[in-house]
Amino acid sequence: MSSGNYESSEGSSVGVAVTFLLIGLGAGALVALMLAPKTGKQMRRDLQRGYKDAKGALDDWADEAKDRVRAAGERVRDAAARGAEIADDLREKVEPLRRAINRS
């Protein structure tokens, strides 16, 4: 049974952050509607401003996530290329030994 600790990847932590942002925005909008006596025009303006701010934050997070995925892909490609080089070097070094064993 888990003690409440868990491991998360970068992708899921971004998803959790976005989820909490949306929950917070919804709760904030509800509280604002109930407690702030504003005219309809003012309320629409405030909601529109909140929507634009939230959309900007989500766009920024999406861009950051894309950059991280792109960087991770580059690291994987670099690691694969290094692995292929190491394998080629090992083949070259082992080849004389393999030929000697086959002659025996």
Assess if residue 1 is contained within a domain.
no
- Mean pLDDT across 36-55: 82
Judge whether residue 46 has pLDDT over 80. yes
pLDDT at 6: 47
Assess if residue 2 is contained within a domain.
no
Assess if residue 5 is contained within a domain.
no
65-78, pLDDT tens digit by residue? 899 999 999 999 99
Assess if residue 3 is contained within a domain.
no
pLDDT at 2: 46
User: What domain range includes position 47?
Assistant: 11-103
Q: Domains in the chain: how many in total? A: 1
In this structure, what token pair is assigned to residue 3?
Answer: 């003690």
Determine what percent of the chain is predicted with pLDDT higher than 70.
88
